[in-house]
Structure 1
Amino acid sequence: MENKQKIFDQLFTQYRDWIFRLCYSYTRSEIQAEDLVQECFSKVWLNLSSFEHRSDYSTWIYRIAANTCLMQLRREKNNPVEYHQKLKDGSSEDRQEYNEDRSTVLYNAIALLNEIDRIIISMVLEDIPQKQIGEVLGITENNVNIKVYRIKRQLKELLSKNN
């Protein structure tokens, strides 16, 4: 038990901020992201003793976080976030409001992507190697490359529509 606690503490210290950024990219809410971080690390704690070391801890934890975020998105699917609607509206007032900060505009565009594409682009923005992204998602590195190319193209289209 003491060893489990030590490993958990190390994992929490090492990956907490990384997982927070992933969760925040989905929710755009610090409070919700913190809740999801807690949920992720609860799952890490519960499953730590059954971790089989077939992958790195980082891959395993990121998979837990990505799945937790996806589950949250599915739970909220019937309650779209207000900024999604504002971006789709495209009025000059909305565009002016979201042009204040480039990162806000980018994250709002990312929020319009489908769930898997959001996970992929969030990992790319975290500089996670595409091979590791493939491991997390259970797809080939080549498939990741293709998906990243398509996601970037889609983001360019979304951003050009809202500028």
Structure 2
Amino acid sequence: MQEDQDKHENQSKKELLVDLMEEYGDMVLRVAYTYVKERQLAEDISQEVFIRCYQSLQSFENRSSYKTWIYRITVNSCKDYVKSWSFRNLFPKSIIETENERKMNSPSSQMEQKEENNELFEKVLNLSLKLREVIIFYYYEDLSIEEISNVIKVKPNTIKSRLRRARISLKEQIGGGIFLEE
């Protein structure tokens, strides 16, 4: 009887994990990439995130959404990796085009827009980690100030301050003008 119950619980955990991977897999990969700036490393971290999720599913207390919980695991995994000796002693590779970008044959105006977006993203990746993570979560992942605060465990006013500093830095890098206003 207990064996059947354990088998059912394991099957439920596996199904939930598959659902979480389908829903949040791309997000985890994007966030990891913004930290490590190398696709293969980001994929490795993504796998590690979902292994940790599976191992911790039974202890999930529903005090936050799965989305926030997975963001938190991702951020912690990325920060652990960035702090590691091996990461500090590797040279990050240049930005790798996504599969969709490689397949896309677009008119010159779309190509120019893509180049501008890539250039902007490169500038975002050059920000300090604290500024980069708030820009990524706010603009690329569409999280609110409050959600970012919950994910990276920093007060909302600190998030606002970092967003402001990041915007100023990016504005200076691209040569002024109005940029990333709320």
> Displacement of 1:37 after TM fit?
0.9
| Per-residue Cα deviation, 1:48-105 (whole angstroms, up to 9, x for no partner) | 111111111111100111111222222212334365xxxxxxxxxxxxxxxx822322
| Per-residue Cα deviation, 1:101-142 (whole angstroms, up to 9, x for no partner) | 223222222222222222211111211111100111122323
Of 146, 152, 157, the match for 1:131: 146
TM-score, structure 1 as length reference: 0.78
Of 123, 126, 134, the match for 1:112: 126
| Per-residue Cα deviation, 1:8-38 (whole angstroms, up to 9, x for no partner) | 1111111001111112223333222211111
Q: Which amino acid aligns with 2:125?
A: A
Aligned equivalents of 1:29, 1:120: Cα separation in 2: 19
**5 Å matches for 1:135-146?**
135-146=150-161
Aligned equivalents of 2:70, 2:164: Cα separation in 1: 25
Alignment RMSD: 2.4
Which 5+ residue runs of structure 2 have no aligned equivalent? 1-9, 95-113, 177-182
**5 Å matches for 1:49-68?**
49-68=58-77
Q: Percent identity?
A: 29
Greater CA deviation, 106-115 or 129-138?
A: 106-115
Aligned to 1:81: 92
Which 5+ residue runs of structure 1 have no aligned equivalent? 84-99
Aligned equivalents of 2:66, 2:126: Cα separation in 1: 30
Q: Which amino acid aligns with 2:116?
A: R
Aligned equivalents of 1:130, 1:19: Cα separation in 2: 19
Detail structure 1 runs of 4+ shifted over 6 Å in the superposition.
Answer: none
Cα gap change, 1:27 to 1:101, in 2 (>3 Å) = farther
**Contact 2:32–2:74 (CA<8 Å) still a contact in 1?**
yes
TM-score, structure 2 as length reference: 0.71
Are residue 23 (structure 1) and residue 38 (structure 2) matched? no
SS of the equivalent of 1:101 reads helix
Greater CA deviation, 134-143 or 50-59?
A: 134-143
**Contact 1:121–1:151 (CA<8 Å) still a contact in 2?**
yes
Aligned equivalents of 1:5, 1:28: Cα separation in 2: 30
**Contact 2:38–2:92 (CA<8 Å) still a contact in 1?**
no
Aligned to 1:34: 43
